[in-house]
Structure 1
């Protein structure tokens, strides 16, 4: 069973059904039903034309649902036999689906779920497992999203920034359950890059690849988090780094800088350093200055404070940090790191403990707790 092929064909088949007259929600439901049939039947009887098979079965599923709805509502619904494939069947609707699933009327969580299902071809169960929520909860979220965008038609170019934000949200979820969301986000962003010539699409793909290249070194054999400065750089994926740098350089050459290109430039500078000590922190600060100019993001300002602390010393970093809201996520962790660099172990230990209590996941909480314990042990000596 080629699950990757099924997921790749999903948006195409949804598009075919929509062009034949199905609304998006009905088309998406019918395609999901067809995918279930494919998983059941293909291992024993693989079709010669997988796309044609899916279109045929999905269309029949839609017709069955339309007839049942007609009977329930006591009204006639005009349904025809399956149209013969024609030139229109070769139209690629994937890009349209990207924009539809990232519609501004949807919440970020709903947009992510719908993108993973309609464009990514994942089942509701797989998405629920990846986000560690009950399947019924995820099904309700997807159903609400489909109702929200029911009848939406695009008569002008969609918002690329919204699509990219959704893909970045998927990537940042990382890995959980049997679906690797980081790898899935890269696959979907590659797919988008093949369909739209946009420097920020290339920038986001470069950013994902450069971050993903460090994945194997991010945790130790015991599952503990390994900070960037302590990672074994021989475990970084040089192939992904080279691809990411090439994509970034081509995007930057177009001289239309965006936030994902700026973030990718920071990641590229980290990837370029053979050791943590060789990191070009001065350039990284300059790129964060660009990112702040582009987005005025508090998170960018927080990361910039770390970079300033490395480039100009911990007190300069603390001065930059003092300009920010202390309630920002990760603020205590950044403050703890800079105070330790400045020699104030007591304050650092207290802040690491505070950061641990607010950590968003167990791995990060464990890391920050260990940092606090390490400093407390030094203070007792």
Structure 2
């Protein structure tokens, strides 16, 4: 049984059921039931089992998505028939629907828009999309939001109920869709390349059908970050900081495409946050070595990003850039204006204090940053940094 295949197919199957008339919550429930049958019955090679109506005699079929759609639809019909309070809906959906013509619609992309519907708050839209489309578990989403799993489960359930009566051809907010795509990409970039690739695929499709400079900017940003992925970890799995990465391992084809997309977006003179972030990524990609990085321009782009978003994270990254452009004390002065409780604040402070020569404070801050790290590779990297400085101090 191929779990990655199931995760890829699930959102498209939900989309098919919703377009056939199922409400969102019922569609997801039916698809989950179908996935359970697939997990139990599909062979290890990932092929679907025989025809779901039993006529196949166990002969594998060549259309796993079609198998899931058929099983999920019948699960939905069974649920409708069992619910006597929904007789009217049963009359509407009892007949088998006409097959979708040619698969012309991308149901996964359509599902993104449904999950980002204006009737939802941005936080709920992101959570619902990550659950229904991104394939993340409720627990993973709860960790991302720093809330209890039960709280996130309730939020997702409420969001599902909210969009259950929404027509599937009514798109959601593009800005929310972009934030969802970027969050899914970041989940994939930090630990699951398949999610990152799926986010890029969907953003490409959105860019092809949406005349929006920020969509192009987001796609450029994803490609420029994704180009560095092969160099982000060493052979032993250790995190490799940007300054130490082997730039010969960066994907120059993706970099070239990302830069060209960014230039086309910036030429429209309607700057947005994703374009500004992509500009920073492009400046890093343009430098042949860490020493040749144009930190002055990077600071200027972070100034634009802070103006656009007032994001504390952007201000934290700006402090690092200021430290590189104007020296560590200038960076520490910029950092002093920020909330010490920000994620990665201690790590940034440790780096700047080390550059300023205060190794004792830097070592302590690296250790504190490691204790609050959000993932194991980052924690291990910060722990090694603290150990490195402590070894120097003892020597």
TM-score by length of 2: 0.80
Distance 1:27 1:277, change over 3 A: same
- 1:324 aligned onto 2:338: yes
1:42 alignment partner, one of 45, 48, 51? 48
CA distance in structure 2 between the partners assigned to 1:353 and 1:249 by the alignment? 41
Equivalent residues of 2:117, 2:125 under 8 A apart: yes
After superposition, the C-alpha distances for 1:29-59 in whole angstroms (9 at most, x for unaligned) are 3344455667737366565777666555443
CA distance in structure 2 between the partners assigned to 1:135 and 1:322 by the alignment? 34
Q: Which residue of 2 aligns with 1:364?
A: 378
Q: Which residue of 2 aligns with 1:308?
A: 322
Distance 1:83 1:352, change over 3 A: closer
Question: 1:268 deviation in Å?
Answer: 0.9
CA distance in structure 2 between the partners assigned to 1:105 and 1:74 by the alignment? 24
Question: 1:246 deviation in Å?
Answer: 1.9
Q: Which residue of 2 aligns with 1:68?
A: 82
Question: 1:273 deviation in Å?
Answer: 0.8
Equivalent residues of 2:366, 2:385 under 8 A apart: yes
Q: Which residue of 1 aligns with 2:159?
A: 145
User: In terms of mean alpha carbon deviation, does 140-149 or 263-272 score higher?
Assistant: 140-149
RMSD: 3.6
1:174 is paired with a residue whose SS is helix
User: In terms of mean alpha carbon deviation, does 151-160 or 278-287 score higher?
Assistant: 151-160
CA distance in structure 2 between the partners assigned to 1:202 and 1:74 by the alignment? 44
Q: What 5-or-longer segments of structure 1 have no aligned partner?
A: none
Question: 1:140 deviation in Å?
Answer: 6.8
After superposition, the C-alpha distances for 1:193-221 in whole angstroms (9 at most, x for unaligned) are 23322211121121112112112211222
Q: Which residue of 2 aligns with 1:28?
A: 28
Question: 1:108 deviation in Å?
Answer: 6.6
Q: Which residue of 2 aligns with 1:190?
A: 204
Q: What 5-or-longer segments of structure 2 have no aligned partner?
A: 51-58
CA distance in structure 2 between the partners assigned to 1:22 and 1:154 by the alignment? 10
Q: Which residue of 2 aligns with 1:297?
A: 311
Distance 1:89 1:370, change over 3 A: closer
Equivalent residues of 1:56, 1:82 under 8 A apart: no
Q: 1:1-381, aligned counterparts within 5 Å?
A: 13-34=13-34, 40=42, 42=48, 45=59, 55-70=69-84, 73=85, 75=87, 77-78=90-91, 79-85=93-99, 94-103=108-117, 111-112=125-126, 114-116=128-130, 118-120=132-134, 122=135, 127=137, 142-153=156-167, 158-174=172-188, 180-381=194-395
CA distance in structure 2 between the partners assigned to 1:282 and 1:177 by the alignment? 31
CA distance in structure 2 between the partners assigned to 1:327 and 1:136 by the alignment? 25
After superposition, the C-alpha distances for 1:162-200 in whole angstroms (9 at most, x for unaligned) are 111122222222368877432332233233323322211
Question: 1:142 deviation in Å?
Answer: 4.8
Distance 1:321 1:37, change over 3 A: same
Distance 1:6 1:238, change over 3 A: same
Equivalent residues of 1:130, 1:178 under 8 A apart: no
Question: 1:112 deviation in Å?
Answer: 4.3
After superposition, the C-alpha distances for 1:193-252 in whole angstroms (9 at most, x for unaligned) are 233222111211211121121122112222222111111111112222122212212211
User: In terms of mean alpha carbon deviation, does 104-113 or 199-208 score higher?
Assistant: 104-113
CA distance in structure 2 between the partners assigned to 1:157 and 1:3 by the alignment? 29
1:326 is paired with a residue whose SS is coil
Question: 1:285 deviation in Å?
Answer: 0.9
Equivalent residues of 2:28, 2:132 under 8 A apart: yes
After superposition, the C-alpha distances for 1:80-112 in whole angstroms (9 at most, x for unaligned) are 321334769855555542222134665777544
CA distance in structure 1 between the partners assigned to 2:35 and 2:207 by the alignment? 25
Equivalent residues of 2:227, 2:254 under 8 A apart: yes
1:351 is paired with a residue whose SS is helix
Distance 1:48 1:330, change over 3 A: closer
User: In terms of mean alpha carbon deviation, does 6-15 or 279-288 score higher?
Assistant: 6-15
Question: 1:270 deviation in Å?
Answer: 0.5
User: In terms of mean alpha carbon deviation, does 311-320 or 268-277 score higher?
Assistant: 311-320
User: In terms of mean alpha carbon deviation, does 319-328 or 152-161 score higher?
Assistant: 152-161
